[in-house]
Structure 1
Amino acid sequence: MIKKRLFIGSSSEELSLAEKAKTILSTDFDVTIWNEKVWDSSVFKINQNFLSDLLKATLQFDYGILLGTNDDKVEFRGQVMLQPRDNVLFELGLFTGRLGTSKCAFIIDKDIKLLSDFGGLSLAVFENGNEPSFENAVNQVKELFKSSSDDEINFFPSATLASVYLENLIAPTCRFLIENGGYELDGIKYKKCKLHILVPDRINQDVNLQFEKLKSSIETKNVSFKYAGRPRNISIDTQIKDEILVFIDFPTIITGINYAISNLLPNDFNRLSPDYDSILERELRRFITTLKKLLIKHGFDEMVIVKRETDI
């Protein structure tokens, strides 16, 4: 089972706390601390822009934890208060904006003065210098993330594309088959019908060509039918297997993931790097997971099977 990726941000002064948090969290998550020096896992690369690296990180990780410690003193309404470093607060806002409040948490020293704007964020409080208190706060967040919905439907491009794909092809195809009690092909009425969605193992630059190669390895017959409310006929490939008429579709809509991710990343980001591949793979998984959730929600999960290329 693939572990979800988790980012830990902190001030330079509190890296030891970040290390302790990583030890606790690593049993359930693939954890990266902001300053780790191993090249493949480092968030901040040599000779690259920090903001660019942070924007990339928000697309690579599934969860974010920021450690709020009393690093700076500020004057607030005439009183001296303690607050985290500005960069920690900035990273917290950035990750929350990209991942959503349910995927981010702020572990804070109890002496910190927080703005009222943090009211909707998951907070875990600890007492500075009290190790059991810190471990308890980290474990609270760990359990919160473990119990959160797996790849919940969100605003990422893959989720939007999955919704559009379901509404434009899957739903009308399933409704047509249900309303007509199956499908007649070559004079034979097939009451048992399935819809197989074939998803490639990775997204190439030319997704259409990728699907043509995949399609050429499967013997199919193309059919089309009219469904009420649609301006054009639905055209789809079919295959008879064990007396079941199987409708097969290759979701070329996923090419939109490439375009969407490119727009979310900084202009100077290397799109031929392993980091870019890892982001695309995560979005492909999100597309599949979102699609499966939508199928259950619409009651089509028994009719539709989503397969990766290696499962064919």
Structure 2
Amino acid sequence: MIKKRLFIGSSSEELNLAETAKAILDKDFDVSIWNENVWDKSIFKINQNFLSDLLKATLQYDFGILIGTGDDKVTFRGTEVLQPRDNVLFELGLFTGRLGTSKCAFLIDKEIKLLSDFGGLSVAQFDTEDSSSFERAVTQIKDLFLSSSDDDLNFFPSSTLASVYLENLIVPICRFLIENGGFKVGDNHYRKCQINVIVPDRINEDVNLQFEKLKSTIQTENVTFKYAGRPRNISIDTQMKDGTLEFIDFPTIISGINHAISNLLPNDFNKLSPDYNSILERELRRFITTLKKLLIKHGFDEMVSVKRESEL
């Protein structure tokens, strides 16, 4: 089972707390720590654009924890209070906006001043004088993350594309098969039907050509049918296998994943960096898990199989 990736961010003064949190979380997550003074072990490299690397990290990680301690003193309405570093607050906002409030948490010293805008965020407080309170706070966050669905619908390109793909192709085919008790090809009416969605192991620049090469290895026959509410006929490839009429589709819509990420990270796209490829792989997995969740929601999960190319 692949561990979900978790990012911990803190100021350099609190690296020891980040290490303690990592030790607690390592069993359940693939944990990385970022700190401005540990470049060699960090997500971000000193010779790269800082904001670009932060954006890249929000695409690479499933969960984020930002540690807030009283590193800075500020005057608030005439009173001196403690507040986390600005960069920690910035990263908290960035990760929360990208991952959602159930997948990002603020691990915070109980003595610091919380802004009113923090309402609705996942916050776990600890006492710097009590190490056990810190461990309890980290465990509280761990339980929150473990209870969070690993395939929640979100604003990542893969999730949106999976929703569009399902509504525009898979749902009409499933409904047609149910309403007609199967599918008729020539004089034969097949009552046993199955839809197989084949997702590639990786996305090439030309997804259409990629699928054409894959389809050439499978002997199929194209069929078309009209479905109410659609301006054009639905066209899909089929094959007979063990007495079942199988509908086979290669979702070329996933090319949108490549397009979206290449616009967000143009430099990494141009050199096809390892980070870029890892983000693409993560988005392919998100596409599959989102599609499977939606199939269950619609009640079509028994009719549709979603496989990677390597599983054929």
TM over 0.5: yes
CA distance in 2 between partners of 1:294 and 1:49 (Å): 37
1:235-254 aligned at under 5 Å gives the runs: 235-254=235-254
Residue deviations 1:19-76, cap 9 Å, x none?
Answer: 111111110000000139586x631113111111111111110000000001010000
1:146-165 aligned at under 5 Å gives the runs: 146-165=146-165
* 8 Å CA contact 1:9, 1:88 repeated in 2: yes
- Identify the residue that residue 81 of structure 1 maps to in structure 2: 81
- Identify the residue that residue 56 of structure 1 maps to in structure 2: 56
CA distance in 1 between partners of 2:290 and 2:259 (Å): 19
| Residue 127 of structure 2 corresponds to residue 127 of structure 1 | yes
Residue deviations 1:276-310, cap 9 Å, x none?
Answer: 00101111111000101111111111110101111
* 8 Å CA contact 2:39, 2:45 repeated in 1: no
* % identical aligned pairs: 76
| Residue 141 of structure 2 corresponds to residue 166 of structure 1 | no
CA distance in 2 between partners of 1:151 and 1:302 (Å): 19
1:157-306 aligned at under 5 Å gives the runs: 157-265=157-265, 267-271=266-270, 272-306=272-306
CA distance in 2 between partners of 1:269 and 1:85 (Å): 29
- Identify the residue that residue 42 of structure 1 maps to in structure 2: 42
SS at match of 1:254: helix
SS at match of 2:119: helix
Aligned partner of 2:79: which letter?
Answer: Q
* 8 Å CA contact 1:52, 1:269 repeated in 2: no
| Residue 97 of structure 2 corresponds to residue 97 of structure 1 | yes
* 8 Å CA contact 2:268, 2:275 repeated in 1: no
CA distance in 2 between partners of 1:269 and 1:91 (Å): 21
Q: How far has the Cα of 1:238 moved from its partner?
A: 0.4
Q: Which runs of 4+ in 1 moved over 4 A?
A: 36-39
* 8 Å CA contact 1:7, 1:34 repeated in 2: yes
Residue deviations 1:210-254, cap 9 Å, x none?
Answer: 111111111111111111111111110001111110100000000
- Identify the residue that residue 307 of structure 1 maps to in structure 2: 307
Q: How far has the Cα of 1:269 moved from its partner?
A: 3.6
Relative to the length of structure 2, the TM-score reads 0.97
Aligned partner of 2:94: which letter?
Answer: L
Q: How far has the Cα of 1:114 moved from its partner?
A: 0.2
Q: How far has the Cα of 1:270 moved from its partner?
A: 4.8
SS at match of 1:18: helix
SS at match of 2:123: strand
SS at match of 1:101: coil
- In structure 1, runs of 5+ residues without a counterpart are none
CA distance in 2 between partners of 1:292 and 1:310 (Å): 18
Pick which of 164-173 and 27-36 moved more.
Answer: 27-36
Pick which of 268-277 and 280-289 moved more.
Answer: 268-277
Between the two proteins, the alignment pairs up a number of residues equal to 310
- Identify the residue that residue 107 of structure 1 maps to in structure 2: 107
SS at match of 2:231: coil
Aligned partner of 1:113: which letter?
Answer: K
CA distance in 2 between partners of 1:192 and 1:38 (Å): 58
CA distance in 1 between partners of 2:81 and 2:267 (Å): 39
Aligned partner of 1:217: which letter?
Answer: T
